[in-house]
Chains A and B, each alone.
Chain A
Amino acid sequence: MDKGRDNTGQVLQVLPVAIRKRFTEVFKDLSDVQEIRLRAGRPLIIIYGKCEYFLGINSGLTHSIEKAYYVSASELREAMDYISNYSRYAFEEELRQGYITIQGGHRIGVAGKILWENGRVKNMGNISFMNIRVAHQATGCSEKIMQYIRHGNGIYNTLLISPPRCGKTTLLRDMIRILSNGDGYNHGFTVGVVDERSELGACYKGCPQNDLGCRSDVLDGCPKAEGMMMLVRSMAPEIIAVDEIGSNKDASAVNYVMNCGIHVIATVHGLDMGEIRNKPVLGSLVKEQAFKRYILLEAGKIGKVSHIFDERGVVLYRQGCIVPERIVTDGVVSA
């Protein structure tokens, strides 16, 4: 598994000039930087490797808050100008959701004064907190599980289950890439991706910044249910991939897509199979055996697959146990 291409240069471009200068003195590139946190009147914090540092006032990184570089409110305004390309009006929807994706797929979370109207966030002003999350694509992380979802010339309808921050979106992204590009087992599939929160493709001006393969069509920023219907009608996909399904509308759309003969790969928040079965909306899909494979990620560990089940709940893979390849053929457990 590699970290993918280095596209961290775009992060520097959105930093205020004074901070950018310091960064270029400290870092050759930002490939090991995870996060950069800017807060008005507070020290600039960098998550580098797995450690937290302050940017030093005299350049370099430091653990001492006394020697830290403090970010001013005007620098945050400057950064906001760069992030929004001097066009606040063009990022209203993103600001409502609290983040903006920039070129390179990097995500910038913002916080400030919320303008609340008619029970919803109307806009955000006085942005005083910023979290720049540097995108690192984990290419190849799903290679080992692909054998469990392949089925003849197609794939099984698959549901990825995990608690938040365990890597299900990363895993789904890599599965999309492999399925779309094709590998030694399958020709490439036409994959339709509904990317409601721009997490899979991290689209910038409509172009995916993450590698989703050469046969993927991405509907960016589109509600999941509507997006799935649109893709079926417009792009003739063989597989539809969607992140974090959960509502009634999502479940109906998944059903509709499956009835059209299109395979679905989806993710959902959850701890285990029991929890998914008891969810009012998804539970019915599980009982109807709509999904043929369930990939469960281990809580608290990023990217670790703990179990893979089939539609009847038979364990096909358990972490630590080597399950022989081709133990399951066409849904029938042979061993």
Chain B
Amino acid sequence: MIKFIGVLLIVSGGMLLGHYFAEKNLIRIHILEEFEQALQYIYGEIEYAALDIGEIFGSLAVRSRYCGGFWAYMYNRLLENNGGDLYSIWLDGLDNSTWAMYLLYEDKLFIEEVGKNTGSLDRQSQLHTLEIFKNRLEGIISAARSEYKGKAKVCHAVGAAAGIFISVLLV
């Protein structure tokens, strides 16, 4: 009976681990989608209201679910005027963000690049650059979405198989 319970726990644990990795992919997609919305918001605020970037970050801090802390950090640091350009503050913000752990290395590089090209350009170039980033991010998200189902199946299967394998080994 104890063996049976042990096997059940190990297999469930394996399946949960598989589910965690599958969910991690899903959260990555959600974060990227939210970031895409943020880019669209920044684009709109610059185009129609020419708001300064600190104000835009402040609004995003309230609107965002995953990246709210990051935008709030950016908003507060920009208000301080205590040294460092926007890019270095952006990198600090990314380092302090827990949601960044759900992203791939390429995603982080992409987000760093957005920070490098924000604020210091003239209006026309800024809007054009944001447009390019939006298109690139759209591509990244659609690739992530199309891969997600397959990856989720693999994660679940590998998790369950690993659980069974470990159980067999132990029994």
Residues of A within 8 A of B (CB): 13-14, 17, 77-78, 81-82, 84-90, 92, 123
Tell me the complex Cα distance, A92–B52, Å: 12
The distance from the CB of B65 to the nearest CB of chain A, in whole angstroms, is: 25
Are A86's CB and B122's CB within 8 A?
no
Which one of B12-20, B76-84, B106-114 contacts A? B76-84
Inter-chain contacts of A88 with B (CB < 8 A): 119-122
Are A90's CB and B78's CB within 8 A?
no
Q: Taking the complex as formed, is B85 at the interface, i.e. its CB lies under 8 A from any CB of chain A?
A: yes
| 20 residue pairs A–B, Cβ–Cβ below 8 Å | A14-B81, A81-B85, A85-B78, A86-B52, A86-B78, A86-B86, A87-B51, A87-B53, A88-B120, A88-B121, A88-B122, A89-B46, A89-B50, A89-B122, A89-B125, A90-B50, A90-B53, A90-B123, A92-B123, A123-B122
Inter-chain contacts of A81 with B (CB < 8 A): 85-86
Given A13-B81, A17-B82, A92-B122, does the pair A85, B54 have CB atoms closer than 8 Å? yes
Q: By the criterion of a CB under 8 Å from any partner CB, how many residues of chain B are at the interface?
A: 20
Tell me the complex Cα distance, A77–B81, Å: 13
Inter-chain contacts of B78 with A (CB < 8 A): 85-86
Tell me the complex Cα distance, A14–B53, Å: 16
The 7 residue pairs across chains A and B that have the minimum distance between CB atoms = A87-B52, A85-B52, A89-B123, A86-B119, A89-B126, A87-B53, A86-B86
The distance from the CB of B140 to the nearest CB of chain A, in whole angstroms, is: 25
Are A89's CB and B121's CB within 8 A?
yes
Are A84's CB and B52's CB within 8 A?
yes
Inter-chain contacts of B46 with A (CB < 8 A): 89-90
Chain B CB within 10 Å, residue with most, of A14, A82, A90, A123: A90
Chain A CB within 10 Å, residue with most, of B54, B83, B121: B83
Chain B CB within 10 Å, residue with most, of A14, A84, A85, A86: A86
The distance from the CB of A331 to the nearest CB of chain B, in whole angstroms, is: 47
14 further A-B contacts with Cβ under 8 Å, apart from A87-B52, A89-B125, A123-B122, are: A13-B81, A77-B85, A81-B85, A85-B53, A85-B54, A85-B55, A85-B78, A86-B53, A87-B51, A87-B53, A89-B46, A89-B122, A90-B52, A90-B53
Tell me the complex Cα distance, A89–B46, Å: 8
When C-beta atoms are compared, the residue in chain A nearest to B118 turns out to be A86
Are B81's CB and A82's CB within 8 A?
yes
Are A78's CB and B83's CB within 8 A?
yes
When C-beta atoms are compared, the residue in chain B nearest to A123 turns out to be B122
The distance from the CB of A22 to the nearest CB of chain B, in whole angstroms, is: 15
Tell me the complex Cα distance, A17–B81, Å: 8
The distance from the CB of A117 to the nearest CB of chain B, in whole angstroms, is: 12
Tell me the complex Cα distance, A11–B159, Å: 60
Tell me the complex Cα distance, A40–B125, Å: 26
When C-beta atoms are compared, the residue in chain A nearest to B119 turns out to be A86
Inter-chain contacts of B126 with A (CB < 8 A): 89
Inter-chain contacts of A17 with B (CB < 8 A): 82-83
The distance from the CB of A90 to the nearest CB of chain B, in whole angstroms, is: 5
The distance from the CB of A72 to the nearest CB of chain B, in whole angstroms, is: 14
The distance from the CB of A11 to the nearest CB of chain B, in whole angstroms, is: 12
Tell me the complex Cα distance, A17–B83, Å: 6
Chain B CB within 10 Å, residue with most, of A14, A82, A87: A87
When C-beta atoms are compared, the residue in chain B nearest to A77 turns out to be B85
Chain A CB within 10 Å, residue with most, of B86, B119, B121: B119
Inter-chain contacts of A14 with B (CB < 8 A): 81
The distance from the CB of B42 to the nearest CB of chain A, in whole angstroms, is: 11
Tell me the complex Cα distance, A55–B51, Å: 34
Inter-chain contacts of B51 with A (CB < 8 A): 87, 90
Tell me the complex Cα distance, A199–B125, Å: 30
Q: Which of B51-95 contact A (CB under 8 A)?
A: 51-55, 78, 81-83, 85-86
When C-beta atoms are compared, the residue in chain B nearest to A85 turns out to be B52
The distance from the CB of B61 to the nearest CB of chain A, in whole angstroms, is: 16
Inter-chain contacts of A90 with B (CB < 8 A): 46, 50-53, 123
